[in-house]
Amino acid sequence: MRTLITNGTIVTADGSYPADVLVDGERIAQVGLNLAASANADETIDATGKYVIPGGIDVHTHMKLPFGGTFAKDDFETGTRAAAFGGTTSIVDFAVQSKGRTLREGLDAWHALAEGNAVTDYGFHMIMSDVNDDSLAEMDGLVAEGVPDFKLFTAYPGVFYSDDGAIFRAMQRTAKNGGLIMMHAENGMAIDVIAADTVAAGTTDPIGHGLARYSVLEGEATNRVIRLAQAAKVPVYIVHLSAREALNAVRMARDEGLPAFAETCPQYLFLSLDDLGNGFNGAKFVCSPPLRSQDHQPELWKGLQKDDLQVVSTDHCPFDFHGQKELGRGDFRKIPNGLPGVEDRLDLLHDGGVVGGRITKERWVQIASTAPAKLFGMYPRKGSIAVGSDADIVVYDPNRKHTISASTHHMAVDYSCYEGRVVQGGSDVVMSRGSVVVRNGQFTGTKGAGRFIKRATADYSRMA
């Protein structure tokens, strides 16, 4: 099958220019002007007035994550389908090592969840919950299998938490095997004390979640794990960074030339502590780190502008309000942590970032596709409009407006954090490896067509 995309504006991280794109099978075969005469195409897609961009890459999702006695609602079929509607054609999800189990068991379980179900391509990072001699030895094998990053937590004591010694041992191993350490950086021990005090003082509503998880304790943990990584001589990537104190720690490290990287998420750019108020309705907005006061938002945008933040991913981890978030009625500590968002990322960033004048459209493509592809060992196969790259392509209408709503979104969750928000920009045609999976609001893909992305390590020192 040969598909020609004509008359569009190609937008890449490096620049924008008018050109046609010829797709042959699963790959991009040609990029150039006036390809129609020689293309011999089976189908032509007219992209007049549209952007032609590499498919979005969301490197932080949690399909079916077990949390707080329940499971994130989206599975790999519904989650990748919803992502595709929003122009995201690759996800990297977190496989989970449960306490007392091996990394292998966790990874196999995640392969079983994804294979035959995902509609677009997917990779895995590994969450390490149990650092010991055996799991440390297993890490090298995972790197060789295309799972080269390991997430550890200074948060969630008793669940995913690791102490500094365990984190340091995982870092030392990763320094040797060439992988990347990803850190959830909040001081979970101190936060648990403050949360208990907050409940004891009578605040049990979701706002207590936001009040107890001090931003300074995100800053402290971020600086600590960066310095541990420096001592272990390993690259480190801070996930879901929400607070100015944490950003300051990343900026300082990067100014020193350390291979320290960070992502933020749309919820920290567009939502705030105020959303956690409003009684128990605030449970819809409970995630960790929590939504911050609005004054953090301009700092995060500045971080994106200056490349102190390299990536925006979603931390997509959806729980229904009814029946799941409600587990925490009367005690905010029991609300499952996580928000839905995999479908909305590109449009929110286009609307608030590009239309809002905060970032260029080239930077938009960079933070949502190209930089994640580079940092997570997928480039130039993904994240690029170039000859030989996978034909993961979005024909994006920068002018179309639509209203985000749970009644129209495709994520398997009963609410939207952005209910009623009008955004400018939307994905008209979405291709995954040469096949159209979404066309004008209709799903045309196939369950199980998504393939595992065996990822390489990257030369992180050259990216610092």
Answer with the entry of Zn ion, ligand URP, none that 264 interacts with (C-beta below 5 to 8 A by kind). Answer: none
With respect to ligand URP, which residue has the nearer C-beta, 293 or 461? 293
Structure tokens at 443: 């799903």
Q: Is the dihedral of CA 459, 150, 300, 352 positive or negative?
A: positive
Answer with the entry of ligand URP, Zn ion, none that 31 interacts with (C-beta below 5 to 8 A by kind). Answer: none
With respect to ligand URP, which residue has the nearer C-beta, 206 or 338? 338
Q: Which residue is nearest to Zn ion (CB)?
A: 184
Tokens 């590994």, residue?
Answer: 126
Answer with the entry of Zn ion, ligand URP, none that 287 interacts with (C-beta below 5 to 8 A by kind). Answer: ligand URP
Nearest CA to 149 out of 227, 236, 79, 89 is that of 236
Residue 426 to residue 405: CA distance in whole angstroms: 14
Answer with the entry of Zn ion, ligand URP, none that 154 interacts with (C-beta below 5 to 8 A by kind). Answer: none
Query: Least distance from C-beta 317 to Zn ion, angstroms?
Result: 6
Give the strand pairing for 422-432 and 435-439.
Answer: antiparallel
CA 176 to chain centre: 26
Query: Least distance from C-beta 62 to Zn ion, angstroms?
Result: 5
Question: Residue 237: beta bridge partners?
Answer: 182, 261
Query: Least distance from C-beta 161 to ligand URP, angstroms?
Result: 11
Query: Least distance from C-beta 256 to ligand URP, angstroms?
Result: 27
Query: Least distance from C-beta 184 to Zn ion, angstroms?
Result: 3
Question: For the purposes of burial, counting CB atoms within 10 Å of the CB of 408, is it exposed (0-12), middle (13-18) or buried (19 or more)?
Answer: exposed
Which residues are near ligand URP by CB under 6 A?
A: 62, 184, 240, 287-288, 315, 317, 337-338
Answer with the entry of Zn ion, ligand URP, none that 297 interacts with (C-beta below 5 to 8 A by kind). Answer: none
- Residue 419 phi/psi, 5° resolution? -50, 125
Residue range at the interface with Zn ion (CB under 5 A); choices 128-136, 217-225, 315-323, 364-372: 315-323
Nearest CA to 109 out of 127, 91, 121, 85 is that of 127
Cβ atoms of 251 and 310 within 8 Å: the answer is: no
Structure tokens at 299: 């700092």
Answer with the entry of ligand URP, Zn ion, none that 347 interacts with (C-beta below 5 to 8 A by kind). Answer: none
Query: Least distance from C-beta 416 to Zn ion, angstroms?
Result: 19
With respect to ligand URP, which residue has the nearer C-beta, 89 or 337? 337
Give the SS3 label for residue 271. Answer: coil
Query: Least distance from C-beta 127 to ligand URP, angstroms?
Result: 9
Query: Least distance from C-beta 250 to ligand URP, angstroms?
Result: 17
Answer with the entry of Zn ion, ligand URP, none that 382 interacts with (C-beta below 5 to 8 A by kind). Answer: none
Cβ atoms of 124 and 97 within 8 Å: the answer is: no
Cβ atoms within 10 Å of 150's Cβ, excluding its own = 28
Tokens 């924008």, residue?
Answer: 16
With respect to ligand URP, which residue has the nearer C-beta, 59 or 317? 317
The contacts of residue 446 (CB under 8 Å, 6+ apart) are 119, 435
Query: Least distance from C-beta 11 to ligand URP, angstroms?
Result: 30
With respect to ligand URP, which residue has the nearer C-beta, 24 or 58? 58
Answer with the entry of Zn ion, ligand URP, none that 299 interacts with (C-beta below 5 to 8 A by kind). Answer: none
Residue 289: is the preceding peptide bond cis (ω within 30°)?
Answer: yes
Query: Least distance from C-beta 225 to Zn ion, angstroms?
Result: 12
With respect to ligand URP, which residue has the nearer C-beta, 54 or 336? 336
With respect to ligand URP, which residue has the nearer C-beta, 289 or 434? 289
Residue 380: is the preceding peptide bond cis (ω within 30°)?
Answer: yes
With respect to Zn ion, which residue has the nearer C-beta, 20 or 93? 93
Answer with the entry of Zn ion, ligand URP, none that 338 interacts with (C-beta below 5 to 8 A by kind). Answer: ligand URP
Q: Which residue is nearest to ligand URP (CB)?
A: 337
Interface with Zn ion, residue 64, by CB under 5 A:
no
Q: Which of 74, 220, 275, 315: binder of Zn ion (CB under 5 A)?
A: 315
Query: Least distance from C-beta 66 to Zn ion, angstroms?
Result: 13
CA 142 to chain centre: 21
Cβ atoms of 426 and 85 within 8 Å: the answer is: no
CA angle (443, 445, 446) in 5-degree steps = 130
Question: Residue 96: beta bridge partners?
Answer: 127
Q: Is the dihedral of CA 430, 433, 436, 437 positive or negative?
A: negative
Structure tokens at 324: 């799941």
With respect to ligand URP, which residue has the nearer C-beta, 261 or 396? 261
Q: Which of 125, 184, 213, 410: binder of Zn ion (CB under 5 A)?
A: 184
Residue range at the interface with Zn ion (CB under 5 A); choices 11-19, 107-115, 181-189, 255-263: 181-189
Strand order of the sheet with strand 43-46? 27-32, 20-24, 2-6, 43-46
- Residues of this chain that bind Zn ion (CB under 5 A): 184, 315
